[in-house]
Amino acid sequence: MAITVSSPDFANRTRMPDALTADFGSTAPVIEVTGVPAEAVELALVCHDPDAPMPLGFTHWTVYGIPADATRIAGDTGRQGVTSAGESGYFGPQPPVGHGDHSYYFWVYALSRRVEGEPTSDEFLHDYADDILEQNRIVGYYSR
């Protein structure tokens, strides 16, 4: 069974609700996960906007230390890592006005070892790439 990622807050490849955005409070969405491999010891989540006008895009959320048997990830789950804004926790979408739709990829990773500390998303992907057993994502869109 492959890992699946969904959300009760928005359907895959649809517009994200205003409440989830930085302009309206940055409420973290609930992310639901099923099909985690039995050998996974931990899950991690990275929300990334590759459309941001920055060389490496913009990371909106990192969460580490999620139990492998978790079926729900929310703003109070695991160890909240640092965003591209330099803050921990969820930082909702806030693309430049008139920039068009941005894509927000909520990646969930099933890992064969535990993540130490709160690495940036780039550090995580570099340091733990070989430890990813499975991954999948849900994508939301937002524009201003």
Kindly tell me the burial class for residue 36, based on how many C-beta atoms sit within 10 Å of its own C-beta (0-12, 13-18, 19 or more).
buried
**25: left (phi > 0), else alpha (psi -120 to 50), else beta?**
left
pLDDT in tens, 102-143: 999 999 999 999 999 999 999 999 999 999 999 999 999 999
pLDDT for 1: 66
pLDDT for 112: 98
pLDDT for 126: 97
Which residues in the chain show pLDDT less than 50? none
- The closest alpha carbon to 97, from 21, 26, 19, 46, belongs to 21
